[in-house]
Amino acid sequence: VKGEFDRNIDVIVFGHSHRPFNEKRGETLFFNPGSPTDTFFSPYNSCGILKINNNIHAEIIKLDNE
């Protein structure tokens, strides 16, 4: 991805896989909140909160859907 852009990338938000992912690799945060309804690819339902101010804070929240 870095080769496609002229500047540093702080965060990449992605989905579709429904797998929660919150990991920094190098200087870039990769964030996938998962799915609140589908557990086919994950053992739990989840959603995410992404806060961007002077810094970036991402949190995955496990949901209890019982």
For residues 1 and 40, the model is more confident at: 40
Which pTM was predicted? 0.85
Query: Is the pLDDT assigned to residue 6 strictly greater than 80?
Result: no
15-55 pLDDT, tens digit per residue, is 988 999 999 999 999 999 999 998 888 889 999 999 999 99
Q: What is the model's pLDDT at position 23? A: 98
**Interatomic CA distance for residues 43 and 36, integer angstroms:** 12
CATH code: domain of residue 6: 3.60.21.10
**Burial class of 19 by CB neighbour count within 10 A (0 to 12, 13 to 18, 19+):** middle
Query: Is the pLDDT assigned to residue 3 strictly greater than 80?
Result: no
Range of the domain at 15: 2-63
Q: What is the model's pLDDT at position 1? A: 66
Total number of domains constituting the chain: 1
Instruction: From 22, 18, 65, 61, select the one nearest 42 (Cα to Cα).
Output: 18
